[in-house]
Amino acid sequence: MLKHRGFPGRLPGTDFQFTIRRANPRGVTPIIRRERFGDRRAADRRADAGFMAALWEHFGDRPFERGNLDAGRLSWLFGREVLPADDPFDPASYDARLVIDPEAARAAFPEIFARGSA
């Protein structure tokens, strides 16, 4: 499992996890598409935005390996702002490659791209 050096482990000041420390010995947690409903808590929305900002800063629009990125946190963005980079895509692999869709990311998180990090 690739460890993304320099990637934040969590949203600062919270317990919202962005990375995992070690591979799961019972099997890889698959990435799934989770629906983000409008009534989600503000803290959850901040975690999504913080994770998206970290992904964009670290990878930009280049494909990247899932590695030690948290499957649960990726699942909130998967299928919209974060897409499979390869076909076929294995959602239960630490080697799976993903890519950010810049247009979808800008639409969903305009505050990140308004800061000039785009």
Mean pLDDT per 10-residue section of the chain, whose length is 118 residues: 93 92 89 91 94 96 96 96 96 96 95 69
Amino acid at 28: V
Contact 52, 44 (CB under 8 A): no
Residue 116's pLDDT is 56
Under 8 Å between Cβ of 84 and 27: no
pLDDT at 114: 78
Angle, vertex CA 66, rays to CA 14 and CA 58, nearest 5: 65
Q: What is the pLDDT at residue 95?
A: 95
> Does pTM surpass 0.85?
yes
CA pair distance 100, 113, nearest whole angstrom: 13
